[in-house]
Structure 1
Amino acid sequence: MVDQQSWGGVKRRIELPGGRQFAYVDLGQGPALLLLHGYSDTSRSFSLIASNFGGYRLIIPDLGGHGGSMPAEGMAVADFARDVDCLIDRLGVHEFALVGHSMGAMIAIEIAARRQQAVRALVLLSGSLKPDFGPRKDVARVIRALKDPLRPDDAFFDRWYACSRPVDMAFLGHLRHEAAAMPTTVWRSLLDALAVTDLKSHAAQVKAPVLCIAGAQDPLFGIGDRRALAVAFASVRSITLKGHGHNPHWESPGEVAALILSFLRDELGQPGSTSDLSAAPG
C-alpha cells in the first residue's frame, strides 16, 4: 500500500512557458507510461495502482489548476494537452503508452491524435468523447452553486467521491482536501470547457491500439458513452466491469492494473511484473 501522507513529497516541478509551476511524479524505470487524472483530482488518483507497474517508468502530472500545478489561461482539453506536451518534451520522452481517467481520458485522446508516432497504446478509464455537462445536468447545477471556501467535509464531496465498491479512506480523505483547495472559479471553468468538448474527430485520428475500461454503474458516463468509444477508434477493446462505478482504478486497483498490463503485453510485448516502484533518478 502507498503511504498517502508522503505522496506529495515525491512530486517534482518544472517551469512552463510564462513561468507557471507544473508538478508531476516520476517513478520507476522502463518503458514510459503517462497517466492523466480526472476533473478535480491530482496525480494521487493513480497512487493506489502505481505499485502494480514494476518495469515501467510512470509519469503522472498534476494537470493545470490541480494539486501543485498552476492553471493555464484556458481550461479546454487542448490547453491541458499542451502542458503535458511540454512536460514530456522536457523529460525527453519520445515514445510512451498513455492512460487517462475521465477528463484525463479526454486529454489522452487529444494527445494520441496529435502524437501518432509517439503514443504506442492508449487506455481510457471511464472515458467519454462528448460528456454531458450541460445546464440541465444535475451535477452541473450542483457544481455551479459551489461557494468559496470549499471544505473537505462538505456534503458535496460525499457525492462527488461516491464509489460502488469500498475504497481506502485515507486516500479519499487526501483527495477531498486537494479538491477543496481548488477555487470554485476553477471548478466552473472546467465545467464550461467540458460541456463543449467533442472528441469524435480526434478519436478518428488515433493510430494506437485502444483499451476502454468502464464501470457498469458509472453515474457520469453511461452506456451511450461506452458505445460511442467502442466504434470511434481503428483498433479498440472494450471492458465493462460489473459492480464498479466511475473510478474502477480506485475500486479494484489490482484488477484494473492486470487488465492494463495484459493489454500492453499483447499489443507491445511490454513487461508485466508487479515489483515495487521507486523514484526515477535525475
Structure 2
Amino acid sequence: MVEPISQEHFSTLKRTVMLPNGLRLAYIEMGDPNGMPVLLLHGFTDSARSWSLAAPYLAAGFGVVAPDLRGQWCSGAVLIDEDFLAHARRESAALPSRIWHSIYYEQLAYDPSPLLQDISAATLILRGEKDTIATEEHQAQMKDAIDGAELISAPGHGHNIHWEAPEKVAHLILTFLERP
C-alpha cells in the first residue's frame, strides 16, 4: 500500500536547475531514478504541487518528474521591465469582467493541433467527465492531433481529476504505462 506524503514533505523535494539559456527550472523528482521516466505536466497557472497527491502512487518503479513550467511558481520567467509590468498590471486590473470572459472564451477556441502533431511519445489524456474548462470536444481534438494518443474520460469528476481522485488517476496512468 502506498502512503501519501505530506504537503510539507513534498515542498522539501523541490529542486532547481539553471538551463543553458539562463532560465531557472524548478522540479520535483520522486521514485526510482533508474526506472522508466514519467513526466507529469501541470496546467496553466498551476505548479508541480498539482501532482503531489497522485505522484506517490506512481513513484514505485518509475522515475517521476514534475516540473514547474516556465514562468510558473518557482521556475524563472523571461525578465521584463518592472515599470512596464506595473503599468500592464494596472491596465489589466481595470478591464471590465466581460473582457476577461471574452479572453477566456477565445482561449477555449484556440486549436493546439498543429503543435501537438509533433508529439511522438505514448500519450494518455485524462479528463473528468464534468470538466467545463477542458471540454470533451477540446480533449478529443488533442487526441486526434497526437498519433496514437488515448483519451479517458472519468465519470463523476471535474477539471482537477488528479486532485479529486489521485489514486484512481495513478491507477489509470500505471495501467497505461504497463502496456507493451
When the two structures are superposed, what TM-score results if normalisation uses the length of structure 1? 0.49
Aligned to 1:207: 120
Structure 1 CA distance for aligned equivalents of residues 176 and 37 of structure 2: 15
Q: Name the SS of the counterpart of 2:139 in structure 1.
A: helix
Structure 2 CA distance for aligned equivalents of residues 20 and 205 of structure 1: 24
Aligned to 2:86: none
Q: How does 1:156-171 map to 2 (within 5 A)?
A: none
Question: Post-superposition shift, 1:226?
Answer: 2.8
Q: How does 1:171-186 map to 2 (within 5 A)?
A: none
Gap runs ≥5 in structure 2: 81-94
Q: Which has the higher contact order (CA 8 A, sep 6+)?
A: 1
Structure 2 CA distance for aligned equivalents of residues 19 and 2 of structure 1: 32
Structure 1 CA distance for aligned equivalents of residues 18 and 47 of structure 2: 18
Structure 2 CA distance for aligned equivalents of residues 199 and 217 of structure 1: 22
Residues 100-140 of structure 1 deviation map (CA, whole Å, 9 limit, x = unaligned): xxxxxxxxxxxxxxxxxxxxxxxxxxxxxxxxxxx9x97x7
Q: Closer, same or farther in 2 for the Cα pair 1:244/1:69, shift >3 Å?
A: same
Confirm or deny: 8 A CA contact 2:30 2:56 kept in the other structure.
no
Aligned to 2:164: 251
Aligned to 1:23: 26
CA RMSD, aligned part only?
2.9
When the two structures are superposed, what TM-score results if normalisation uses the length of structure 2? 0.74
Confirm or deny: 8 A CA contact 2:16 2:26 kept in the other structure.
yes
Aligned to 2:129: 216
Q: Name the SS of the counterpart of 1:36 in structure 2.
A: coil
Structure 2 CA distance for aligned equivalents of residues 8 and 19 of structure 1: 24
Q: Does 1:9 align with 2:15?
A: no
Structure 1 segments of 4+ aligned residues over 3 angstroms from their partners? 17-20, 194-198
Q: Which moved more, 1:229-238 or 1:37-46?
A: 229-238
Match of 1:49 among 25, 50, 54: 54
Q: How does 1:87-102 map to 2 (within 5 A)?
A: none
Q: Closer, same or farther in 2 for the Cα pair 1:230/1:141, shift >3 Å?
A: same
Aligned to 2:45: 40
Report percent identity of matched pairs. Answer: 32
Structure 2 CA distance for aligned equivalents of residues 72 and 52 of structure 1: 34
Q: Closer, same or farther in 2 for the Cα pair 1:60/1:209, shift >3 Å?
A: closer
Question: Post-superposition shift, 1:210?
Answer: 2.7
Aligned to 2:154: 241
Residues 169-202 of structure 1 deviation map (CA, whole Å, 9 limit, x = unaligned): xxxxxxxxxxxxxxxxxxxxxx7xx679542123
Aligned to 1:61: 67
Structure 2 CA distance for aligned equivalents of residues 209 and 22 of structure 1: 24
Confirm or deny: 8 A CA contact 2:140 2:151 kept in the other structure.
no
Structure 1 CA distance for aligned equivalents of residues 5 and 137 of structure 2: 35
Structure 2 CA distance for aligned equivalents of residues 39 and 7 of structure 1: 20
Q: Name the SS of the counterpart of 2:40 in structure 1.
A: strand
Structure 1 CA distance for aligned equivalents of residues 159 and 143 of structure 2: 17
Question: Post-superposition shift, 1:73?
Answer: 5.6
Q: Closer, same or farther in 2 for the Cα pair 1:35/1:6, shift >3 Å?
A: same
Which residue identity lines up with residue 39 of structure 2 in the other structure? Answer: L
